[in-house]
Structure 1
Amino acid sequence: MMIHDNHVNIINRSWASYGADVRISTHDVTTEAGCEELLKMANEMGPVEAIFNLAVILKDAVFQNQTSESFKVSFGPKALATMHLDKLSRKLCPSLKNFVVFSSVSCGRGNAGQTNYGLSNSVMERICEQRKKDGLPALAIQWGAIGDVGLVADMQYEDVQLEIGGTLQQRISSCLLALDKFLKQDEPIVSSMVVAEKKAGSSNCGNIVEAVAQIMGIKDLKTVSRQIPLAELGMDSMMAVEIKQTLEREFEIFLTAQDIRTLTFARLLELSAQSDNAPSTSVATRVQNDAAVGMRIFFRNFGEEKFANEPLIHMPTLISNETGEKEAVHAIENVMFMMPGLEGCAAALEPLSRSLKIKVCVLQLGTEHRNENCEQMVDRLYQLAISRLVPGTKFWLLGYSFGAMLTLDLAAKLERRGVTGTVFCLDGAPDFLLSLAAAVINYKNDFQLQNSLICKTIDIVSPNNEITDTLMEKLNKIEDYDERIKYSISVLPVQTNYSNEFIASIAKVCFDRMKVVINYDTTNVKKLKSQIVLLRPRETPPFVVCEDNYGLDKFSESPVTVHFLDGNHVSIIENKNVADIINNVIYNS
């Protein structure tokens, strides 16, 4: 490690003022012999009670340009020196109380161009973990950027704050306070950093997909396949670095270099939906199989199991304080019937219901009806709705996502009975859903679709589990769908919200419903007399090809009313403007 003479003189004078005996060793600590001489020299001065390795040498380059020599340069003073100090201190330093190495956030979180540096720090951390297991003192500190002194301080221009990997410089006084706390605790690996202020979406691009497309020089996303990895679309090493940094800086999404290499636009589309719907605090985004990830757009939650198979659930609204319990069968004047998304339960619609000035009944799909087609589902919903409509009154129907398909068919069936009304489609329509499914789900065959549904079901019933990353690979080896579900449940982490029977049932019926989306036929649709109101996000997801009205003009004799709102397919249901528009339509009627 190089030390500037002026810096050494200042430190020496400072320590000497406290009566310290300071000696500078020039032994080569990257060799075992050099480390041994260093420790022997220290023992001559007195018992060695603390060892600190603060060494840092950077040799940054993208991985393709790294060499064995660039790895050795970084590896020596950090990894090799720590290995030798660990081995020799065990016999030469019996009074040792502290064994501290300075690691980096580039090891804990990764940093473009620093594979060699990250490896060196990782080796030091593994040594500390082993020492702790052996009952010896050990501490590795993953520091972020340090201000006042050191490499980052040398790069800083005047008082301009540098942002590196999403962190700002930590003042040396703060570092010393953190160090004091770290020395008093027992964990072998700790971190200290100053997280930069979040500026998600501050780039000139409106979303993640557009930002990546701009970096790669792709002007029209419809000209490329959503399933082909970016590397095969022409992404070179420098583009990969820029994409990684842009995702971290602008959208708070942290991916590994391997994730970047295998990234597809289909996966970016899902990350965009997650980012729009996530809290502002920074979290590491875990990336899974494309198909399983894409399913998140179609699912919300399963609600409470005890209510899942109730055919009808009354919801709390601005004029009704229903608790969600099933209500007795009777006709209700001025009521809105809602059809939920793919999961088929009422829970996801509660945020919207609470802001409406009309009574709301959700017609649930349940989990007891297997192998149903669209017509059979609609027949069940029709029997529920017609028995609760007051003769001579108009209907109010709302379908969210998958529920919009059923709502259109239900409206047609009610019109054949002589009843008309208004149909609200909340970001749902047959053409749109089919295109969305094609954009975010790899469903080349039923086998892949079933596995994706299983993984997503497991994610909902047991959030933040550690099995779905490897589950898809296991499922691909099991032929029978029921056996795949059975295996998935057997490895599911312990949870108390849902029974195994319910989990199995929901995976099976959701497969039936996805097949309805894929097989829906719009060629011979009878147009509705009832008004159709579409509430949709302003931006159409990339790769989704459909008209502004989602092709709903095929279902209506009159023009479709379209409202463009903030949000995405997942978050729009919580947009207050949705409720305001619905309330105004009802009031004006």
Structure 2
Amino acid sequence: MYIKVDMSAKESGSKKSRMIAELWRALGIDPEVTPNHLTLGEIGLESMFAVELQQELEREWNVKVSLNHVKSITIGMLKDYEAGNIGNVKKHLDELKQARANLLKQKFVIPTETHTRLNAETTGRPVYLMPTVLLNFTMFDELAQSLNRPVIGLNWTREMCKLTTIKELNQYFIKLLKQLEPNGGYDVVGYLDGAITCSKLLLKGMVDKAVIIDVLSDERFTGDQLSEEDLFVFTLNMFSEMPDSIKDKIIRELKKETDTKARIRIVTTELVDFAGKGLVAPDIDEIYAILLARLRMLLSYRAEKRKKFSNRLKMAIGKKWSKRTGKLIMIKPFVLDNVDDVDELIGKSRDTYLLPAAQDGNDGNDNIEVTIINSIPNLDQINAEINDKVLAALK
């Protein structure tokens, strides 16, 4: 509950200040004691005042602003705006616009076919892409059109939801690829659980080159256990690019709920409301549930392997990899500004996917190459850099 105060003293001044003062009065809060991180939607902004603020912001910058975007503005941003510091609100609206545009590029539809051809090429060594987080291959559109080789996406269908372990997942893709390419002669690209499958295909000699993209940069994922709450926070960052204020709001809502289906609904409802009209998302709840299941399988797989081999794990991994002849390239997008030891960072990434450490001295370890992308927090630019690195690795 927030303290109601007499805001009449703030009625003088600019039209903007008077409007914000009226807004505080309508909300019945004292902005000086109300937490800055709360959004106007959480406080309970009425439509009439939301429209007035919407119109003011549209006049200010001559841009289209939705009511949902207005309600995502925080108390702290609005206090800055009232004081004449408009930068934070403008930055927030710019981020919303970009994030919404990226979200609308996606189609949250579960595929029905086992694979999808992503370009018109019919000759050359094929490249197979493992299923992505969102179960579509939008992020690899540029790659598919740039390669003068057939690029095929391996889909995650509803039938695959019966699989409950990484071992079963590996067996499924090994069988499928033997059907699609009985004579071998192809390369693979994957991340998340698909990175494990890529490594397995390389170890079996089925592919000559495997490219894995390490998107598991969160420190919490370096262990084998993750709480359900941490898992949701982690997947939220993977599932969509949104401003921090909206993510923080979703996380606060998630903490109030314990049922998994209800938590999924909190996230997907927020995403659909955020995107607005035009988002194709008939299967968004199911796709989010699949992502959670895939991450749980990956965590269980790593825990099982580490328990099985215990202290002999590194030796066993090194011995296994010393016998393979193909090339594995790991691409790791990461902001290096706060990283003191890059070698340690790379070591953790190798460990995440059960790859031999660089310093183990195993023959053939030079055939594992790690490329760091010092990424910046912009999805379009990160994807462009990833596509460039994958393209270079496959040429």
Q: Which residue of 2 aligns with 1:513?
A: 294
- Correspondent of 1:381 among 136, 156, 173: 173
Deviation at 1:398, TM superposition (A): 1.6
**TM-align CA RMSD:** 4.9
Q: Contact 1:442 / 1:449 at 8 angstroms: preserved in 2?
A: no
2: CA distance, partners of 1:457 / 1:550: 17
- Correspondent of 1:423 among 210, 220, 225: 210
Q: Which residue of 1 aligns with 2:9?
A: 80
State the Cα deviation string for residues 262-296 of structure 1 (Å, max 9, x = none): xxxxxxxxxxxxxxxxxxxx622799xxxxxxxx9
Q: 1:510 to 1:466 in 2, by over 3 A?
A: same
Q: Which residue of 2 aligns with 1:156?
A: none
Q: Contact 1:125 / 1:189 at 8 angstroms: preserved in 2?
A: no
Deviation at 1:366, TM superposition (A): 3.6
1: CA distance, partners of 2:112 / 2:281: 14
1:548-567 equivalences in 2 (<5 Å): 550-551=349-350, 552-554=355-357, 558=364, 559=366, 560-565=368-373, 567=375
Q: Contact 1:426 / 1:535 at 8 angstroms: preserved in 2?
A: yes
- Correspondent of 1:546 among 345, 353, 356: 345
1: CA distance, partners of 2:232 / 2:290: 13
Q: Which residue of 1 aligns with 2:19?
A: 125
Q: Which has the higher helix share?
A: 2
Amino acid at match of 2:118: M
Matched, 1:473 2:272: no
Q: 1:424 to 1:472 in 2, by over 3 A?
A: closer
State the Cα deviation string for residues 293-341 of structure 1 (Å, max 9, x = none): xxx9xx9899434563432111126x46xxxxxxxxxxx8721111244
Q: 1:301 to 1:425 in 2, by over 3 A?
A: farther
Q: Which residue of 2 aligns with 1:529?
A: 325
Q: Which residue of 1 aligns with 2:146?
A: 355
2: CA distance, partners of 1:191 / 1:334: 55
Matched, 1:504 2:288: no
State the Cα deviation string for residues 464-492 of structure 1 (Å, max 9, x = none): 89976544334333332124335666675
Q: Contact 1:374 / 1:516 at 8 angstroms: preserved in 2?
A: yes
Q: TM-score, normalised to structure 1's length?
A: 0.41
1:23-422 equivalences in 2 (<5 Å): 80=9, 82=11, 101-102=13-14, 121=17, 124-126=18-20, 283-284=91-92, 303-306=106-109, 308-316=111-119, 319=121, 334-368=125-159, 369=161, 372-391=164-183, 393-400=184-191, 402-412=193-203, 414-415=204-205, 419-422=206-209
Q: Contact 2:106 / 2:280 at 8 angstroms: preserved in 1?
A: no
Could you tell me the percent identity over the aligned residues? 11
Q: 1:346 to 1:187 in 2, by over 3 A?
A: closer
Deviation at 1:515, TM superposition (A): 1.9
Q: Contact 1:424 / 1:535 at 8 angstroms: preserved in 2?
A: yes
State the Cα deviation string for residues 40-84 of structure 1 (Å, max 9, x = none): xxxxxxxxxxxxxxxxxxxxxxxxxxxxxxxxxxx9xx963846x
Amino acid at match of 1:399: G
Q: Contact 1:449 / 1:511 at 8 angstroms: preserved in 2?
A: no
Q: 1:496 to 1:565 in 2, by over 3 A?
A: closer
Amino acid at match of 2:173: L
State the Cα deviation string for residues 422-478 of structure 1 (Å, max 9, x = none): 1122346xxxx3xx2325899975430454367569857xx7899765443343333
3-state SS of 1:313 partner: strand
Q: Which runs of 5+ in 2 are unaligned?
A: 1-5, 25-53, 62-72, 78-89, 307-312
2: CA distance, partners of 1:498 / 1:573: 21
Q: 1:129 to 1:81 in 2, by over 3 A?
A: closer
Q: Contact 1:454 / 1:488 at 8 angstroms: preserved in 2?
A: no
Q: 1:497 to 1:442 in 2, by over 3 A?
A: farther
Q: Contact 1:486 / 1:504 at 8 angstroms: preserved in 2?
A: yes
Q: Contact 2:189 / 2:210 at 8 angstroms: preserved in 1?
A: yes
Q: Contact 1:395 / 1:421 at 8 angstroms: preserved in 2?
A: yes
2: CA distance, partners of 1:579 / 1:314: 18
1: CA distance, partners of 2:269 / 2:111: 22
Q: 1:307 to 1:347 in 2, by over 3 A?
A: farther
2: CA distance, partners of 1:458 / 1:564: 22
Q: 1:452 to 1:366 in 2, by over 3 A?
A: farther
Amino acid at match of 1:505: E
2: CA distance, partners of 1:565 / 1:311: 31
2: CA distance, partners of 1:364 / 1:581: 24
3-state SS of 1:546 partner: helix
Matched, 1:581 2:392: yes
3-state SS of 1:283 partner: helix
Q: 1:486 to 1:407 in 2, by over 3 A?
A: same
Of structures 1 and 2, the one scoring higher in RCO (CA 8 A, sep 6+) is 2
3-state SS of 2:91 partner: coil
3-state SS of 2:261 partner: helix
Deviation at 1:188, TM superposition (A): 6.7
3-state SS of 1:284 partner: helix
Q: Contact 2:346 / 2:370 at 8 angstroms: preserved in 1?
A: no
Amino acid at match of 1:102: S
Deviation at 1:389, TM superposition (A): 1.4
Q: Contact 1:535 / 1:565 at 8 angstroms: preserved in 2?
A: yes
Q: Which runs of 5+ in 1 are unaligned?
A: 1-74, 84-100, 105-120, 131-185, 194-253, 259-281, 288-295, 321-331, 585-589
2: CA distance, partners of 1:572 / 1:487: 27
2: CA distance, partners of 1:303 / 1:505: 15
Q: Contact 1:367 / 1:505 at 8 angstroms: preserved in 2?
A: no
